[in-house]
Structure 1
Amino acid sequence: MPDSLQDLADALLRAGRDAGADAAEALMVRGASLSIDVRNGTLEMAERSEATDLGLRVFIGQRSAITSASDSSATTIAAMAERAVAMAREAPQDPHAGLAEPGQIAQDWDVAALELADSTPEPDPATLEQDALAAEAAGRAVAGVAQVQSANAAYGAQTLHMASSNGFSGGYSRTSRSISCVAIAGTGTDMERDYDGDARIFQSDLRSAGEIGRVAGERAVERLSARKPATGSYPVLFDERIAASLIGHLLSAANGAAVARGSSWLQDCLGEPVLPDHLSVIEDPHRARASGSRPFDGEGLPTARRAIVENGVLTGWSLDLSSARKLDMTPTGNAARSVSSPPSPANWNIALTPGEQSRADLIASMGTGLLVTSMIGSTINPNTGDYSRGASGFWIENGEITYPVNECTIAGNLRDMLRRIIPANDARPWLSRVVPSLLIEGMTLAGD
């Protein structure tokens, strides 16, 4: 059998056609990963994986089915195609199913400009182990840290190729390098946990292991002797580490699949204000060295920069082909899929307009309120936007951090909350979701 992913994809398409498919799409993913965990100064786990995964989606009219495998032999490819066609013949009709038209597919792109893959050699296990050990040692060295729960260093590389019977064929590679550390401070019933980590495409961009371990330890110690805050209505500042979750809820509600199902609290908000009028949410899948970048989407459509929210106004949904057809709209190049799943809308790199004030400025302006640094659980009503989450962080008095808090719940309605957000200017520009700390006045807080 051919070894290149493009040749394998072409072989799958031929097999699908020979088995009786009217149209077909093949997705090939070849990847390798290496992960090292240390504990108490010694290696705890070393894990390496390598795989080539094949996925085939076929259409019989407007019936479709998907098969996948991790064996690229000619026998397996033929069996995949026959099984997929047999399944498609029994599948229900979907009037919105189908590949892109030839005029819709991506025709030209510059993968090199996206800088998705580091050309430096894969690090050896000893290098990753040294990074993990350095992070653990730095965490343990922080006064008050009882133990480091985990320290990890990892590397991953992936190449994909997609080809369809509509004429699309394309692929690209990406790499990742990461270090993380989780520290525990205190003893007995007064124990707190916190973390730090970094993940980049390029090794040279990665923060040092020592810094990551130290920050994890300091964060854990800062949380010691936490207590419940008072119940009432207070300003809440979402720390930059978690603020992206709020914009994530907005993106979920602007997902074309949710809108097509009628299960979005933004259902009737297209063209309406959803953020303060000086804020925009920009999606840019062509940012260099960003993990959310890609030259085309999971259906072979070109990706492009667009404003999801512009000057506070919701301008459009995130659409794959199916949801666009259901809503009688134009697809936005936002389809994501795996070798074993059909496409569905997703978002790429997102950035919220930054504010002019620092995080410290916002804290100083709060008076009395809550700085949230960690959240657990989630109760989000997708139809109404009602929001309730467990939270912990730090209590603010007279514009200053006074003591750590935990075991409280913050609640509100996303439609109202997002209209009142005040952004800081502390977003990390290399993340795929560039969202700064966000202040929201007058949220309901349940504590003591």
Structure 2
Amino acid sequence: MSETLQQLSETLLDLAKAAGADAADAMAVRGTSLSIDVRGGALENAERSEATDLGLRVMIGQKQANISTSDVREETLRTMAERAVAMAAEAPDDPYIGLADPSEIATDWDIDALELCDPTGEPDPAALQQDAADAEAAALAYDGISQVQSVSAGYGRTDVHLAASNGFSGGYARSDRAVSCVAIAGTGAEMERDYDYDSRIFQSDLADPRSIGASAAERALSRRNPKRPPTGAYPVIFDERVSGSLIRHLMSAINGAAIARGSSWLLNDLGAEVLPTHLSLIEDPHRARTARSRPFDAEGLPTRQRTIVDNGVLTGWTLDLANARKMGMQSTASAARGVSGPPSPTSWNLALTQGAQSREEMIKEMGTGLLVTSMIGSTINPNTGDYSRGATGFWVENGEIVNPVNECTIAGNLKDMLKTLTPANDARRHLSSVVPSLRVEGLTLAGN
């Protein structure tokens, strides 16, 4: 079957209506991925995959069902639609489901302005292999690097089309290029490892693979001879590599699904101060060449920029249509979905206000405390915000890094932690989450 994704989506809608659906939406996704792994300068593994997946959601009154397939034959699609309708007929009523009103759907967008797909197309496998080999060679060139655990280069492209019986029909393509390297310093019980990677939409924006390998090596070497930190209450700096996790915890707490369930430590904080007054958090789904940009959400609503936290004050929840209806609110065009399930709320590109200090200046000002560069595991109480995570990084005394740290736990309460944030100015602006290094005051460390 050689139909386009749009044709496949619209065929599914027609079949669903013919089978008795009152309303329906269909998603068609076609993906290609290519990954090359290198070891010792030679090709170790090459993988390529291609797939087309289809998802159909049908509604009969206030009942719905979802079904998916990777078989695009016409007889399969007909059977799929019939089964979906039969499943919906037996489903329980949900008063909040339903497609967007036709007056709400996106009708005009400039997909080219978002630059979501590199027009140069799929790279030659030999070029990917050379990228991986260059990263590996750069890491191994450092004295003290005993081996490169893994190094890879990859390419992916995803085409997606969404169509619904309310009249919406739209799609776009998205591509990515990536290089990653994991280096190991030392041998035996003294081994330490670290990594670096880069992922971009456009090949021309990708970091030099040699710089990725060099960075992975330098990071691994800096972690040799770690010690445990003292136990007590100290300021903690979350390096830019991990600081975004704090903002993700905030976003999880204001997700409409959690709010509708009543299971969020920010449940009663709409309109309250959740960050310091000099900080704002902006969501911008239209940032060009950025991984989570999109012209419309998974329910066909036009995406738009919004200020989630305005000068410290929480302005709203993250909502899809169903959760917005539960709370008597409007969707924030935040619906995401795969082919096998209904929409649910999520966030797009985020940017936190940056500070005036560099990370190094923040370390000097901190005096004594912990710089966290990686985290292990997570215990977060969704109702109270109690926070406990394993961490590694560097111990700081008198404003200077004195030794690497491993095997420690940091603990606090997210509501209190977020109100003490001090940002540096080192956020990488091409990432979907533009969050700088963040200092948090008075966390409890469990070390020696």
**Structures share fold, TM-score greater than 0.5:** yes
Of 95-104 and 424-433, more deviation after overlay is shown by 95-104
The aligned counterpart of 1:306 is 306
The aligned counterpart of 1:421 is 421
Q: Distance in 1 between matches of 2:444 and 2:301?
A: 43
Q: How many equivalent pairs are there? A: 448
The alignment status of 1:322 with 2:331, answered yes or no, reads no
The residue identity in structure 2 corresponding to 1:52 is T
How many percent of aligned residue pairs carry the same amino acid? 67
Q: Deviations over 1:367-413 (max 9, x none)?
A: 11000000000000000000000000000010001100000000000
Q: Distance in 1 between matches of 2:103 and 2:142?
A: 59
Equivalent residue runs for 1:401-412 within 5 Å: 401-412=401-412
The aligned counterpart of 2:293 is 293
RMSD: 0.7
Q: Distance in 2 between matches of 1:121 and 1:254?
A: 38
The alignment status of 1:193 with 2:196, answered yes or no, reads no
The aligned counterpart of 2:375 is 375
The alignment status of 1:349 with 2:346, answered yes or no, reads no
The aligned counterpart of 1:208 is 208
The residue identity in structure 1 corresponding to 2:431 is L
Q: Distance in 2 between matches of 1:254 and 1:115?
A: 29
The residue identity in structure 2 corresponding to 1:210 is R
- Match of 1:28, SS state, is strand
Equivalent residue runs for 1:205-354 within 5 Å: 205-354=205-354
> Structure 1: any 5+ residue segments left out of the alignment?
none
Q: Distance in 1 between matches of 2:192 and 2:102?
A: 56
The aligned counterpart of 2:103 is 103
Q: Deviations over 1:230-256 (max 9, x none)?
A: 000111000000000000000000100
The residue identity in structure 2 corresponding to 1:367 is G
Q: Deviations over 1:342-382 (max 9, x none)?
A: 11100000000000111011000011100000000000000
Q: Distance in 2 between matches of 1:402 and 1:201?
A: 38
Q: Distance in 1 between matches of 2:201 and 2:252?
A: 26
The alignment status of 1:134 with 2:131, answered yes or no, reads no
Q: Deviations over 1:289-340 (max 9, x none)?
A: 0001000001101100000100000000000011101111000000000011
The residue identity in structure 2 corresponding to 1:270 is L
TM-score normalised by L of structure 2: 0.99
Q: Distance in 2 between matches of 1:138 and 1:56?
A: 48
Q: Distance in 2 between matches of 1:313 and 1:441?
A: 20
- Match of 1:105, SS state, is coil
Is contact 1:35-1:46 (8 Å) kept?
A: yes
Q: Distance in 2 between matches of 1:393 and 1:24?
A: 50
Q: Deviations over 1:156-213 (max 9, x none)?
A: 0111110000000000111100000001111111111100000000000000010000
Shift of 1:121: 2.7
The alignment status of 1:184 with 2:184, answered yes or no, reads yes
The aligned counterpart of 1:115 is 115
Equivalent residue runs for 1:146-161 within 5 Å: 146-161=146-161
The aligned counterpart of 1:83 is 83
> Structure 2: any 5+ residue segments left out of the alignment?
none
The aligned counterpart of 1:442 is 442
Q: Distance in 1 between matches of 2:236 and 2:51?
A: 45
The residue identity in structure 1 corresponding to 2:120 is T
- Match of 2:260, SS state, is helix
The alignment status of 1:8 with 2:15, answered yes or no, reads no
Q: Distance in 1 between matches of 2:226 and 2:146?
A: 17
Q: Distance in 2 between matches of 1:184 and 1:327?
A: 51
Q: Distance in 1 between matches of 2:40 and 2:269?
A: 53
Is contact 1:351-1:433 (8 Å) kept?
A: yes
Shift of 1:273: 0.1
Q: Distance in 1 between matches of 2:317 and 2:2?
A: 40
The aligned counterpart of 2:93 is 93
Q: Distance in 1 between matches of 2:172 and 2:242?
A: 31
Q: Distance in 2 between matches of 1:158 and 1:340?
A: 17
Shift of 1:2: 5.2
Shift of 1:40: 2.1
The aligned counterpart of 2:166 is 166
Q: Distance in 1 between matches of 2:24 and 2:416?
A: 45
The residue identity in structure 2 corresponding to 1:373 is T
- Match of 1:266, SS state, is coil
Q: Deviations over 1:254-298 (max 9, x none)?
A: 100000000100000000000000100000000000001000001
The residue identity in structure 2 corresponding to 1:80 is M
TM-score normalised by L of structure 1: 0.99
Q: Distance in 2 between matches of 1:343 and 1:143?
A: 51
Q: Distance in 1 between matches of 2:388 and 2:432?
A: 25
Q: Distance in 2 between matches of 1:75 and 1:390?
A: 52
Of 329-338 and 36-45, more deviation after overlay is shown by 36-45
The aligned counterpart of 2:395 is 395
The residue identity in structure 2 corresponding to 1:347 is S
Is contact 1:36-1:47 (8 Å) kept?
A: yes
- Match of 2:100, SS state, is coil
The residue identity in structure 2 corresponding to 1:411 is A
Of 427-436 and 81-90, more deviation after overlay is shown by 81-90
Is contact 1:359-1:426 (8 Å) kept?
A: yes
Is contact 1:2-1:8 (8 Å) kept?
A: no
- Match of 2:21, SS state, is coil
Q: Distance in 1 between matches of 2:347 and 2:44?
A: 36
Q: Distance in 1 between matches of 2:139 and 2:4?
A: 44
